[in-house]
Structure 1
Amino acid sequence: MRKLLFLFLFTFSTLVFAKTKLISQQDLLVNQMSATPHQIIDVRSPEEFAAGHVKGAINIPFDQIEQNQNLLNTLKPSTLVVYCRSGRRAGIFEKTLTEKGFNLLHLSGDMNAWQAAKLPTVK
């Protein structure tokens, strides 16, 4: 019951903060096996990313959008799946990129839910 409440609160906070459409963990896993997978963006700190992240994710910290603008511009034609630990930083990142015309999805529950579901991570 606690886990369910925990997941609900983080998902709800994500919905309130950002209006980006959600992608479920299961849908992301299926998408990653497709011929044209979405690009996953982990907006946590480099230290958090190094400790474990979703396979295929690249790290662009939420507060380093401008420093990574050239990389982001190369990704603009793609659908980007964004996540952080709990949703706050991803919401900030999503707001900025939505204003720049990017096509975004938000990983439902972020890394907290991914780990709670015991889904695979890489270091």
Structure 2
Amino acid sequence: MLNFFKSSPPAYQNLTPAQFAEARRRPGTVLLDVRRPDEFAGGHLPGAINIDVTAPDYAQRAAALDKTRPTYVYCRSGARSAKAAEQLTKAGFANVANMLGGVLDWSEPLER
């Protein structure tokens, strides 16, 4: 019997902070912080760009990114970035990864 309520796995990868740290160093990657601008200003991963996933223009701003480049997404705890990663994959981004635990679990220094 088929289970119609079973959810399919995400089309993006979930990475631990250690896996995320290694993967984001690969050439050509986009590092996307989807927190609010005030959270971003308080400290973010080096090289990250900020597009707030809760902002009304999120989809428009995200669509301007290169869909062919690996895109690594994070937030404070991993919840908003999972939502953003799902939206990016639905929008046609080929290689998307979400950082589990967000900056709360990040052990490297943040940039201000």
- Report the TM-score, using the length of structure 1 for normalisation: 0.70
Query: Which whole-Å CA distance do the structure 2 matches of 1:95 and 1:88 have between them?
Result: 11
Higher alpha-carbon deviation: 91-100 or 61-70: 61-70
Q: Structure 1 residues 108, 76: closer, same or farther in 2, change over 3 A?
A: same
Counterpart residue number, 1:65: 58
1:120 aligns with 2:112: no
TM-score normalised by the chain length of structure 2: 0.76
Q: Provide the alpha-carbon RMSD of the alignment.
A: 2.2
The amino acid that maps onto 1:58 is I
Q: Is residue 47 of structure 1 aligned with residue 38 of structure 2?
A: yes
1-structure distance, mates of 2:110, 2:47: 10
Deviation at 1:26, TM superposition (A): 2.4
Question: What residue number does 1:107 align with?
Answer: 99
Give the residue type in structure 2 aligned to 1:65. Answer: Y
Q: Which amino acid aligns with 2:58?
A: I
Question: What residue ranges of structure 2 are gaps of 5+ in the alignment?
Answer: 1-6
Identical residues among aligned pairs (%): 32
2:64 is paired with a residue of what secondary structure?
A: helix
Q: In the alignment, does 2:20 pair up with 1:28?
A: yes
Cα deviation 1:14-46 (Å, max 9, x = unaligned) = xx9x82312232233334444x15211000000
